[in-house]
Amino acid sequence: MPEVYLTIFFISVLLIFLGSGVWVGISMIGVSTIGMIMFTSRPVGDAMATTMWSMGSSWSLTALPLFVWMGEILFRTKLSENLFKGLSPWLSKLPGGLIHVNILGCAIFAAISGSSAATVATVGKMSIPELRKRNYPESFLLGTLAGSGTLGLLIPPSIILIIYGVTVEESIAKLFIAGIIPGIGLALLFMIYVVGWSLRNKKIMPIISEDFSFMEKIKQSGQLLPVVLLIFAVIGSIYAGIATATEAASLGVLGALILSYFQKSLTKESFGKSLLGATKTSCMIAFILAGSSFLTLAMAFTGLPKNLAVFIDTLQLSPYMLLLVLTIFYIILGMFLDGISAVVLTMAIIEPMIRQAGFDMIWFGIYLVIVVEMAQITPPVGFNLFVLQGMAKKDMGFIAKSAFPLFLLMILAVIIIIAFPELALWLPEQMIQPLN
């Protein structure tokens, strides 16, 4: 079983790098270099330069900084205020009341952001003070916000789906469209949980005295119109085959700038900060991807992915058992790594197994994102927990405990997507002209 020992070696060296505080991208480059020197006769420098340049010059990747920039622009607008004012009149009388604003607000912002942390921060900066003012239970408030923020990874445009698509060479447009129904379904699961919890705990839920006429609701909903139009422009153009993911991202940036201008939040300072924020995030992700591409090549030269896939095959695991093992693996991995790092670190080994097992790679991308979503609310490394800890001034353990029911709902979502793969595959099959 040389492949097992080789796997242990790569993982051990990687953990040493990461445990020493070395950046993820540099850690992957370091592991790859050591592996190639020790186990192959290939020239390390030439292989590194060629591979990393090839990854960096991928046209599909151009969508990444554009979607990141769009989210950065909108983060600095009055979007959070508009979301709350537009949604609250319709949701206040439902069981659970304005807690539903957390879920639907996150779902809407997810459709124009692609980032889980940005989704939590944007919705939270308005909903936390407003819901606290109305005396909603703190654990209920923060738990639903932490869990709902994970929708930023699944509902398109999703940064992690772009990275997955580039890594496994699948259509980003199809991946985006595949995430729509599971994303909406997960949001509905969260809302059903909120209804059930509030009905069981009526005594501690606040009584909402605010009442709106139908015309007042319509008037307040007008504040959501620009956002809804932006969503339809981005996602609709992809679905209709009018635009690629990159072209849709350009359209999204233009729409975000126009929205920001009319809300009088587009200033020289805010424009510069949004551009700088997008640059920092994009460079970080690009560096991780560059390291990942070199790690993939190094592993391919050692024959590890192929041999490991053969080894797994000899275990005679059923497809469902393989998915169970992968689910547990990614949940554990997510306790120590962010979602992007977890995906790029593992796909070199996981991809051959998945293809050999006969799974559709578009479907697997959606399954993977739902599993990775859990990592956003699992300590000690849960990005959403860190964001909320700073915003709500609460202990991370308290927030993680509050979000645990939504963690369980994500496990249920994984079971549903495995049992009914059509939920992810039906819409991509209906696309008029699938584009990359």
pLDDT of residue 434: 45
Taking residue 143's Cβ as centre, other Cβ atoms within 10 Å add up to 28
The token pair at 358 is 């006969």
DSSP secondary structure of 29-63: HHHHHHHHHHH--S-HHHHHHHHHHHHHT-GGGGH
For residue 369, name the pLDDT band (cuts at 50, 70, 90). Answer: very high
For residue 305, name the pLDDT band (cuts at 50, 70, 90). Answer: low
**Whole-number percent of the chain with pLDDT over 90:** 15
Q: What distances in angstroms separate CA 55 from CA 175, 287, 380, one per listed residue? A: 19, 10, 31
Residue 436 has pLDDT above 70, yes or no: no
Of residues 426, 378, 366, the one with CA closest to residue 156:
366
Residue 1 has pLDDT above 60, yes or no: no
* pLDDT-wise least confident of 4-8, 127-131, 216-220: 4-8
Of residues 49, 48, 54, 8, the one with CA closest to residue 30:
48
- Signed CA dihedral, 311, 313, 316, 319: sign only: positive
Q: What is the pLDDT of residues 203-245, one digit of tens each?
A: 888 877 667 777 888 888 888 888 888 888 888 888 777 888 7
